[in-house]
Structure 1
Amino acid sequence: MFGRSDVGEPDDGAAGDRGPLAAWPGAVHYGFAAMALAVVVARVVTDPLGGTLVAIELLPTLALAVAIAYAGRRFARHEPTPSQVQRSAAILCGGGIYGAVFVAVIELFQWLEGSAPVESDYLIAMAGFGGVALAAGVSHYYVAYEVRLAEARAESARANRLRKQSSVLGRIFRHNVRNEVNVVAGWIERTADPDPIAAARARRTARAHAERLADLSETARRIQRTMDGDERVRVDLVAHVESAVATVRAEAPAVSVATDLSESAWAVATSNAAAAPAEALSNAVEHNDPESLSVDVSVRADGEGYRVEIADDGTGIPSVEVDALDAAEEGPTSHGRGLGLYLMQTIAVESGGDMEVESAPGSGTTVRLWFPAADGPRAGPDDGA
């Protein structure tokens, strides 16, 4: 099972699993406001000739109804989680009960003394709605505090992760660029070879390494864009994986690619999420012999999200490169060969998910990417549809 990212948690389960209160956060507030209005209507209907006195008595209840409804509207703007909605509902109910019981106890003592006030039912109801209004204010600020606290924690975690990733990214980038530049410079010197065949070979090799430098720069740019806060969108992971598989089959037809995909897998991910499965497949083809390579690709439901798994039977990845993914910083001898793994990990983490790599020299590589499910139905035989 994967670890889950704590970076931004806009989702507390898919909409279908959150219940009506989470789908309409202000429902409890609006319900109490409607009850207050119902009391006003009942008061008018039972005493239609009450005149100015009754109208004055109803004004506080009308004001409480408006205040409760307004508090519900502000509460909903915080986009509370289901647990916050439930706690808010409990606070509102507790406030209403407290207000009603408080006045009821006072009237009980007055009744025992023989001086019970008139219209006790109406006074108890109004006191209850007053308690609800006060509790609505408490609930609003309580949820606002929790939201700000969660945002601060998420921002702190993100800042720490960005510092770590920036350090590792910079070290690997400088190491790879230096190596590639040295290689290109060496092969350029060989282009002066009097042997035309050797010179042509040197030109081809230098061009190939120059192209690798360009690819390296593009991969670094993608990582930086994702780290800087790439927008999260609703994506179909199956469509992204199918596109990546089609590219591999077109560019490397000798590679055997088997797929096991759901009908669709709608997830929350960064806008460049398609680069993650594409990079995993590209790495498998680039670092292995296409003639003997087999790759298994699957997309399946996993908990509250979807798992993309890409497994090959190639030569594997050196453990030093896999270990570098979790290292706070690289040592002088632990530089990764490329930025592909970091690109995939960054996309997964910034999407609210995670990545896991299992590999050993000679035993193949398995990359697992987990993304949180987006709102809406899940399709596929393993999705509970």
Structure 2
Amino acid sequence: MTIRLPAPDGTLRTYDPRTEPLLITPGTPFTSRTVYSAAHVVADPFADVSPDSPAAVDWDATLAFRRHLWSHGLGVAEAMDTAQRGMGLDWAGAAELIRRSAAEAKAVGGRIACGVGTDQIVSGSLAEVRTAYEEQLALVEAAGARTILMASRALAAAASGPEDYLEIYGHLLRQASEPVILHWLGPMFDPALEGYWGSSDLDAATDTFLEVIAAHPDKVDGIKVSLLDAQREIDIRRRLPQGVRCYTGDDFNYPELIAGDEQGFSHALLGIFDPLGPLAAEAVRLLDTGDKDGFRALLDPTVALSRHLFQTPTRFYKTGVVFLAWLAGHQTHFTMVGGLQSARSLPHFARAYELADGLGLFPDPKLAEDRMKTLLALYGVTQ
């Protein structure tokens, strides 16, 4: 069987889908790396909502996807930007997601870390930003999950310089009952975070970021760097205090960063490990045995798909992630909270399908092909 796919130039080309998936079964826990997948949420397709309505979530399908990730040994990074935090999922929805997912993690023995931000306010004073962070920190700790201190749009707007970041983060770290993960999310993921850590000069911002960590090394489990700059991540990684992990958030360069070099390596907390979950887990298990070449051979070919999904404007990568979850059979529909399924073009979807199919990511290639043809038909493409 073949399928006709639209090209960026408006023409149709023929593609021959694979007939067999890449067979991967759950295996042993990882020993060499700590790996989190930032997971998407599944919308309720039958909810009568508009793009401005609070998120309507299909909780059964959302939690089932987390169980899928846990079954392969991956941790779940919950209520992060991959879950459309700040792009369709409001704080009320995120709070419910954290409570439900943390309870599910406890029930199945899964690793979980949850995003703490300030999205219950749009803007405010530094005192209001601190209070918003404190409310979310208390909820995550009460749920029994590890905390990920996310970058705050409200803090970026309220801060007058590096000293305000040092004060806010220092206060939160002193208050945290357990070590947290600090998340530096670059403006390519969220333009409102331009100039985070008090400067648009990345060298100056890096110094402030590291100053926060150096002042509270016992309260920082690790950092997640999402700047899509491999060398900067390596430089930061080499300057971290002993015992503080670096979790790569670089969806362009993750194989080389996780593999590491003679001076160290990165753990992982990645949105691309949502669609790559089983394959990524298999690769890390090879790394556990010392087979770095095997790890790279399995994971390097996935970079083309990741770079495609995360292409500019990068913040809309979530659309591709959910699209692939639908094709893979993890949900029955291609609907997203906030109507974000419209954020990418048909040629973009076609190329994502082709790349994912080529990697063997679809457990049922025929189902993926049929669903792709359904989408094409809705756009007027006949086979």
TM-score bracket relative to the smaller structure: under 0.3
**Higher alpha-carbon Rg:** 1
| Structure 1 length-normalised TM | 0.22
TM-score by length of 2: 0.22
Greater helix proportion:
1
- For CA contacts below 8 A with separation 6 or more, give which structure has more relative contact order: 2
